[in-house]
Structure formats: C-alpha cells, structure tokens
Amino acid sequence: MQTTLTTHPATTVTHIAQLTLKNRLAVAPMSRISADAAGVPGAAMLAYYQGYAAGGFGLVISEGIYTDDHFSQAYPQQPGLVNEEQVAGWQVITKAVHVEGAFIMAQLMHAGGLSQYHAVPKAPSALQPLGERLKGYGGAGPYSVSRAMTQADIDQAVAGYAQAARYAVAAGFDGVEIHAANGYLPDQFLTAYTNEREDGYGGDVAGRFRFTAEVLAAVRAVVPAGFVVGLRLSEGKVNHLDYRWPDGAATAQAVLTAVKASAPTYVHIAAEGGNWVAETHYPDGSSYSGLAKAMLGVPVIANGGLHDMTISRRVLEEGHADLVAIGRAALKDPSWPRLQFGI
C-alpha cells in the first residue's frame, strides 16, 4: 500500500548548509566496482546514480572514491578522483543527478590496511586486519600485514584527500563525505585495537582522531566557502561487523567531542551490519546518531535498515537524525521513494 505524502517525516524538506533538499531520503554509499580499469566512471555508473535521482531521492552519496594513486585504492575497478579523466567521467554523472532535482556527495575513501588492491597496504600500525578479504570485491584469503605509516605517508594521504576534494569541486559534486567509518583508514586510526601508535596519532580518542581532523582541515582549506564537507562514522567494520566502542556511549561522546572541534557540515552515522536499532544504541537508551545530533548542532544522517517505515519514523520524530540513508532497499529498487511515498 502506497503511503501518502503527509504520513511520514522523511518526505519533508530539509537543509544541509546552503542546499535545500526536497526530502530527507539519502542513498547510502554502496561500493559497486563498476568503473573501468583506470577508475573512470562510465555508462553503468551513470545509469546507477541517475536512477536514484529520478527515483525521488533528495540526496545521493557516492560509493567510496579513492583519493590518491599511492595506497588509497581498495578494490579493482573502484572509481577515483585523482586525474582529469576521472573528473570528466564524474561530471556526466553529477549533471544527470542535478537534472533530476537531487544533490550528490563524493565519498572520499582511503582503504588503508583493508586494501585488496595493493600488495602491501599502509595503515596506522603494522598489523594484519581481522577476517578475510571481501569476495564480492574480488578478494580471497586473509588480508596482508600492513606497513606502519610514517609521517611522510600520513602527510601524503592527507594531501590526497585535499586534491580529491579539489577534483570533486571540478566534477560538479555538491560536497564531499570523508569516509571515516567501516574499518577504513581514518577508522583504523580512530579504533584502539588497530592503532598501536605512540606518537601524536595514537593514545586517547583525541590523538586517534587527529588524522581525521587533519583531513577535514586540509579539505576545508581547498574547497570554496559553503562547499559541504561531511563525515561518516561507524562502530562496526566491514571485517568486524559486531565491533562496538568498548565504553559505549562514553566513547561515542568522546569521539563526537573531537568531531565537534573539526566542524563538519554534517555527520553520517552508519550501522555496518544494517540494523540501526541493534548497532547504534547504548544501555542508557541513547543512540550514536542521537548523541551526534544533540552534541554537534549540524545535520545528522542515520543509516541501517531504515527502509522499515516504523524505524525511520522513530529516527526522525524522536530526533535521532535529520535524514535517513537507504541502502539495500534502494539497490533493489532505485525508485523506492516513489514506490513508498508517491514522490
């Protein structure tokens, strides 16, 4: 049964900085490995993103886009934003999304130790990641032992994010989302068991967040005023789905205190396992996304099973988030908003 426009808060207008979104429905970032061998988006990716915009989503967040030619790429056929050819491919996509009345963010991603593309990845510490490489993205067997990043490596990675952000502007994106979730490089710095550093990038939460703070600052320094710079966070990782902050809400609050100092335009809280209720709540009744909304004063996107109308209504009406990001249901039907709400 189709829901009418007036029965669900997801259909109302909202804002992210200067952007006026026609609804509170975002497409969650989903890696598709459908670029060409050189990381250039083509016809398949155009159809993929245009379909979501035409289907009624107000905001589209891209799949993870690699940020440099050194050690950032995660998978073969992952799209990048590191050269003019890739920029030209993305320009076609962003234009098509805009024609359909939606906005689009470039999710900037550095795989770090979870790279399935580089034989010897670089990460905060010289460790072997848990689990096995993702078969769906061409991987097999255990991850490689990473090489610990030097200061030069860190500076190079930060510079890569900044250059990719410049290219995102040139490609016509409305903003970028720094992918600091799901076990990838910024999350490897932030998570205690993947960060054994004893310098200024390790130790307490503030030290472990330092890399992400430097990325946000570097990006801010090179994009135009008002350009959206978002941040994605999670507890679970693609190779450790059931990981949770060891001190629950206390750690979440410490992370968000560090986030607030870096002033992202919005924050996107992801439930890697796809269950917002089970994965982002704490014994005291608070939620990671709700804490972010209360502490940061910026728009918050929640993700994880929110195609369930009852849960997404709760998320929005109880103030846990301002937008809901839809993943699997959108992948199954890019016109999900039109199907559900007639929009």
Q: Which helix (H) or strand (E) holds 178?
A: strand 175-179
How many Å apart are CA 80 and CA 11, to the nearest integer? 32
Per 3-state DSSP, the chain is made up of helix, strand and coil in percentages (nearest 5) of 40, 15, 45
Q: CA–CA separation, 126 vs 144, rounded Å?
A: 10
Question: Are 186 and 178 a contacting pair, CB within 8 Å?
Answer: yes
Cα 80 to Cα 36, 109, 182: the distances in Å are 10, 9, 19
243 is catalytic: no
CA-to-CA dists, residue 166 to 45, 99, 157, 215, angstroms: 21, 22, 14, 13
With CA atoms as reference, report the closest residue to 122 among 65, 188, 77, 60.
Answer: 188
Q: Which of 75, 117, 143, 184 is catalytic?
A: 184
Beta bridge partners, 88, equal none
> Which of 105, 88, 208, 113 is CA-nearest to residue 165?
105
Alpha helices in the chain (DSSP H): 43-54, 84-99, 151-171, 185-190, 205-222, 249-262, 276-279, 288-296, 309-317, 328-332, 336-341
Residues designated as active site? 184
